[in-house]
A and B are shown apart, each in its own frame.
Chain A
Amino acid sequence: MTAILGHPWRHRLAIAVGAVAAMTSVQAMSAETTINWLHLETNQPRLETWHEIASDYEALHPGVHIEFQFLDNEAFKAKLPTLLQSDNAPSMFYTWAGGVLKEQSETGKIRDITEALNADDGAWRKMLNPAAIDSMTFNDKVWAVPTHSGVVSFWYNKELLAKAGVDGEAIKTWGEFTDAVKQLRAAGIAPIAAGGGDKWPLQFFWSYLVMREVGQEGLDAARAGDGFLSDGFVEASQKLIDLGKLEAFQKGFVAASWPDAAATFADGRAAFLLAGDNTATPANQALAATDGKGLAPENIGRFPFPAIEGAPGLVTDDFGGINGWVVTKNAPAETVDFLKFYTNVDNAKKLAARGVIPTTFGGEEGLVEPSMKLAAEQMSKETWHQNYLDQDLGPNVGRVVNDISAALAAGQISAQDAVQQVQDAFELEM
């Protein structure tokens, strides 16, 4: 062994070390900043706009490079914790706000951007919707740049409703909605398209029912520690069971994925779809439908999730996602600056034209789709905006909410058991 480590070998080692050191220093000298942008976007036109915004920024800031990294939705969620703690952490990544972002903010792996927002007398902060900023705020610090938000509402196939003699515009209360479901069933039409296999599409129903049953105060109190066992939650769960009993959902909905459900609606095989604001756009219909076309825009109607008679929730209380970008701890400083550029009014308008409702004031002027303009208008008058509950309540309670929503709609558990499961998961987190 000593022979191996003799002079000639040591000499060679020294040369090798020297060479590596030399290479590193060369690299350091020519160092240019690279922003690694980790996303999960599959919508091609939207991606093109991102690339456009990125190259605009690169042109304005020589030496800054923006590289795109893609991960599939589920892979992204599974891989992120490991990725954030490795040397390969991206500079910025997508967020749905809520409990997951809160957990990330406690790890010290992501950057607090409060200062950047407040700089120059809050110039950047004033550009963005304060409610959206609030949803990215934990412990009085802002942890992500909100870029767009959405609202979930009922979409309906006008032709199918007419066939069953239902007037979609007239549906204002839950009772009227369930009557419509019964009428559609009687006419031999599948009332609602739902993706029970993915579970979260049914979580939309439970969440909205809860919002209508307990109202903002009720949900805030539950989250603050009162828990989920009160009558309102049980009642909301029971309403979902009752809806399922009316055979409200298409056949085989428990195993259907979200794309299956979207196709069921876009093909005209079911009358209602509870979904996000871009459902009725021709691009989205073409993507969802089996025939590559989908329903014509004039055949699609929309109404907000109905109110429940005698319950505190308002019909103007909106439910929908709030999204944005998180900057990681070790990201180059330019990342924050780039996000400021990304959220300026011009870029927000460009993105709005691609079918998102921007959180930048004035950005909504870029919306071209009439159905999305209506959704944006509804959001501008909203009395409360609740983020997706599976995000808001954190990854664990959130998944339980998804589980019970699917189980309730299929009549697999009782309302009491459902809220108890949520409560059990919630207590473990406390």
Chain B
Amino acid sequence: MSQTDSMAAKKPLGGLLSLLTRRHRTKIRGKLPVIILFLPPALILFTVFVILPIGEAAWYSFYDWNGYGLPTEWVALRNYQLIFRNGAFLQALINNGLIIAVSILIQVPLALWLATLVVRRVRGAVAFRLLFFLPYVLADVAAGLIWRFVYDGQFGLVAAVFNALNMESPFWLADKGAAMVCVLAVVVWKYFGFHMMLFVAGLQAIDKEVLEAADIDGATGWQKFRRVTLPLLGSTVRLSVFFAVIGSLQLFDMIMPLTGGGPFNATQTMVTFLYSFGVMRMNVGFGSAVGVVLFVICVSLAFSYKRVFMKND
């Protein structure tokens, strides 16, 4: 390479240009076998399993189609109009917003606080780390079923507690107002361990000397956290919030066994809405339209978040 460079320097301008294009060509030709061999598998997989389904969903969303044969009944934007007129979908949107809010305002701070406790090298810290992480390991469906039983007003743990206090046991999952709070509690319980682990990793990466220096300067615990730990943990916090937001939008497997989106759509999320109103009603066209709306929301949130908050990470 350096040889051709020095040769080019001695030639006049026209020669230099032709040499450059030739160099460019040889460079490509050199990589061509690699590109031909290694690009197609990934490209085909990505196209078949990501690009095509997205395109298909967008296409189906303009049809009234039950999933059999090929869609033929073109309805233009009717499915989209129906979505935004549907009270259950608007409730699902609100619920997704609530889940995001609770994830950011309660779950992430809780995880951060616990992480600062279990990251210390004290006896039992590792055991607590494991204990806090356990709910995350549990399958979502299993967690949903377990909590359905916990909340049960007849045989559940809640019923047992209320009965022990000689009070009438409530049926929270049957209560439109309480059901979503119950779901949010399970969401926090289920996923805080994951965020805690992210923070533990982030905290371990912080140089001890920086904290020691702060100690020597006489900083209090809070000052150390506020001025040293948190700024150094910035990228982890931003990543954690990112996961919380995307995870909240995709919430499905835990809700289905827990409430099935009920009572009266009070705990519907966008994905459970898609499933109950699209798949189960054989409204594949309508369901696809919901999928497209969900996709647009996810993509715009993800990209704008990355662009605004994570551009330096």
* Chain A residues at the B interface, C-beta cutoff of 8 Å: 1, 74, 77-78, 81-82, 84-85, 100, 103-104, 106-109, 196-197, 251-256, 260, 290, 395-396, 399, 406-407, 410, 412, 428
Q: B283 and A81: CB pair below 8 A?
A: no
Binds A, one of B61-69, B115-123, B209-217, B224-232: B61-69
Q: B263 and A254: CB pair below 8 A?
A: yes
Return 16 A-B CB contacts under 8 Å, by A number: A1-B36, A74-B280, A81-B67, A109-B68, A252-B153, A252-B171, A254-B171, A254-B262, A254-B263, A256-B174, A395-B281, A395-B282, A396-B281, A410-B263, A412-B264, A428-B64
Q: B174 and A103: CB pair below 8 A?
A: no
With A and B bound together, what is the CA distance between A3 and B171 in angstroms?
A: 73
With A and B bound together, what is the CA distance between A254 and B67 in angstroms?
A: 31
Please, which residues of chain A bring their CB within 8 A of the CB of B30? none
Please, which residues of chain B bring their CB within 8 A of the CB of A77? 280
In the complex, what's the smallest C-beta–C-beta distance from B155 to chain A, in angstroms?
Answer: 8
Contact A104:B262 (CB < 8 A) given known A255-B174, A395-B280, A396-B281: no
The 3 closest A-B pairs by CB, nearest first: A252-B171, A255-B174, A81-B67
Q: B262 and A396: CB pair below 8 A?
A: no
Contact A255:B171 (CB < 8 A) given known A1-B33, A395-B282: yes
With A and B bound together, what is the CA distance between A108 and B263 in angstroms?
A: 38
Contact of A407 among B68, B179, B264 (CB under 8 A): B264
Q: B174 and A85: CB pair below 8 A?
A: no
B144 within 8 A of A: no
DSSP class of A's interface residues: helix, strand, loop or mixed? helix
B260 within 8 A of A: yes
With A and B bound together, what is the CA distance between A197 and B69 in angstroms?
A: 33
| Extra pairs beyond A395-B283, A406-B263 (9, CB < 8 Å) | A81-B66, A103-B68, A106-B68, A108-B69, A251-B153, A251-B171, A255-B171, A255-B262, A396-B281
Contact A103:B282 (CB < 8 A) given known A109-B68, A255-B173: yes
With A and B bound together, what is the CA distance between A407 and B276 in angstroms?
A: 16
With A and B bound together, what is the CA distance between A78 and B276 in angstroms?
A: 10
Q: Which residue of B lies closest to A106 (CB)?
A: B68
Contact A104:B171 (CB < 8 A) given known A81-B282, A396-B282: no
In the complex, what's the smallest C-beta–C-beta distance from A199 to chain B, in angstroms?
Answer: 8
Please, which residues of chain B bring their CB within 8 A of the CB of A85? 68-69
Q: Which residue of B lies closest to A264 (CB)?
A: B154
Contact A103:B66 (CB < 8 A) given known A251-B171, A253-B174, A255-B173: yes
Please, which residues of chain B bring their CB within 8 A of the CB of A410? 263-264
Q: B154 and A252: CB pair below 8 A?
A: yes
Q: A406 and B279: CB pair below 8 A?
A: no
Contact of A84 among B33, B68, B263 (CB under 8 A): B68
B259 within 8 A of A: yes
With A and B bound together, what is the CA distance between A224 and B281 in angstroms?
A: 21
Q: Which residue of A lies closest to B64 (CB)?
A: A428
In the complex, what's the smallest C-beta–C-beta distance from B209 to chain A, in angstroms?
Answer: 55
Q: B69 and A255: CB pair below 8 A?
A: no
In the complex, what's the smallest C-beta–C-beta distance from A399 to chain B, in angstroms?
Answer: 5
Contact of B174 among A84, A104, A254 (CB under 8 A): A254
Q: B69 and A107: CB pair below 8 A?
A: yes
Please, which residues of chain A bring their CB within 8 A of the CB of B69? 85, 107-108
With A and B bound together, what is the CA distance between A395 and B276 in angstroms?
A: 11
Please, which residues of chain A bring their CB within 8 A of the CB of B68? 81, 84-85, 103-104, 106-107, 109
In the complex, what's the smallest C-beta–C-beta distance from B292 to chain A, in angstroms?
Answer: 19
In the complex, what's the smallest C-beta–C-beta distance from A200 to chain B, in angstroms?
Answer: 12
Please, which residues of chain A bring their CB within 8 A of the CB of B153? 251-252
In the complex, what's the smallest C-beta–C-beta distance from B30 to chain A, in angstroms?
Answer: 15
Q: Which residue of B lies closest to A85 (CB)?
A: B68
Chain B 235-276 against A: per-residue CB contact (8 Å), 1 yes, 0 no?
A: 000000000000000000000000110111000000000001
Chain B 160-174 against A: per-residue CB contact (8 Å), 1 yes, 0 no?
A: 000000000001011
Could you say which of B69, B263, B283, B284 has the most chain A C-beta atoms within 10 Å of its C-beta? B263
Within 8 A of A (CB), among B57-101: 64, 66-69, 82
